[in-house]
Structure 1
Amino acid sequence: MSGLAAVLAGRHVPGVHRWESALPVSDVRRTVEHAGWAFGHVDGAGLDATDAVLRAIGDALAFPDYYGVNLDALRDCLRDLPGPTVLLWDAWGGYARAEPERFAVVAEILGEARLEVLLRGPGPDGLPTLQ
């Protein structure tokens, strides 16, 4: 967990990273929240369309009811996050393969926010790994 520990301690800039860890979601949540960060989890299994992914991200990060489930609304709601946040996105690869261009846009928007996104599980190459 050293890469995540470095992010939580402020020694590594948050961003969108592949993360190789088999830790249970509950252990990741506990670690993140103990460090004073907010936590969200997306189970991406079976999510291969942008609207489903945006809805899952909104649910995971407890976006308000008026969240419009579109890319502009994602950007706006991420700006309103109350503080540093970790989003653990399991099984992200299905969406990244099904809609590679849209995935790239979603990843870019997530990367612009003060958010650490941990992409866990197999998926296309090209994203940095958090070690």
Structure 2
Amino acid sequence: MTTPPAVSEVVPGVTGRGVILTDHPGRPEITEALASAGYLVCELDGTDVVQREQALPALAAALRLPGAADHNLDALLDALRDLPDLWPGRNGVVLLWRAAERFIGGDPQTWEQVRQILTLACLELAPNEFAFETVAFVEGYDLAPLLLDVPHDKGPVL
């Protein structure tokens, strides 16, 4: 079993690693492309997520995280570090967070903490040949669009 490629290598127009922001509302092609690349795709509908009290339970439910991850940031990070054990037989999980702008605007301080935790989990799991990334779909931010219908060649990595 091989580790899936980075999300930025699978979805045209996406750049970055860990937590990727995009202005696209999400299309079935994204889910299909990520699943075809070997990711288990988990989805979070952020329409009603505006504060920490909604965000942590929503994250824990979307990723099926155990314990106190639904109300404690330290426990969230610990549970994310255990993703390979929580998803045996998988070597990559991607979280698609729709309407993430609601949480970003509603509780920016906690958003930043959660973003850092999600990114740290991505970086810590990578050496263990387990991929974890988050794609946060946001509206109302000046972000480059996804190029889903445009063939792309990322070219050499510099």
TM bucket by the smaller chain?
A: 0.7 to 0.9
Secondary structure (helix, strand or coil) at the match of 1:113 reads helix
Residue 105 (structure 2) aligns with:
97
Picking from 56, 59, 62, the partner of 1:57 is: 59
Secondary structure (helix, strand or coil) at the match of 1:45 reads coil
**Could you state the TM-score of these two structures normalised by the residue count of structure 2?**
0.65
Picking from 9, 18, 21, the partner of 2:21 is: 18
1:84 matched to 2:84? The reply is no
Task: Report the CA distance between 1:111 and its aligned residue.
Answer: 0.7
**Could you state the TM-score of these two structures normalised by the residue count of structure 1?**
0.77
Percent identity between the two aligned chains? 30
Counterparts of 1:48 and 1:124, CA distance in 2? 17
Residue 115 (structure 2) aligns with:
107
Unaligned ranges ≥5, structure 1? none
Picking from 37, 40, 54, the partner of 1:38 is: 40
Unaligned ranges ≥5, structure 2? 1-5, 85-90, 123-131, 147-158
Task: Report the CA distance between 1:54 and its aligned residue.
Answer: 0.9
- Note if contact 1:45-1:94 (Cα within 8 Å) is conserved in structure 2: yes
Counterparts of 1:14 and 1:84, CA distance in 2? 14
Distance 1:88 1:63, change over 3 A: same
| TM-align CA RMSD | 2.6
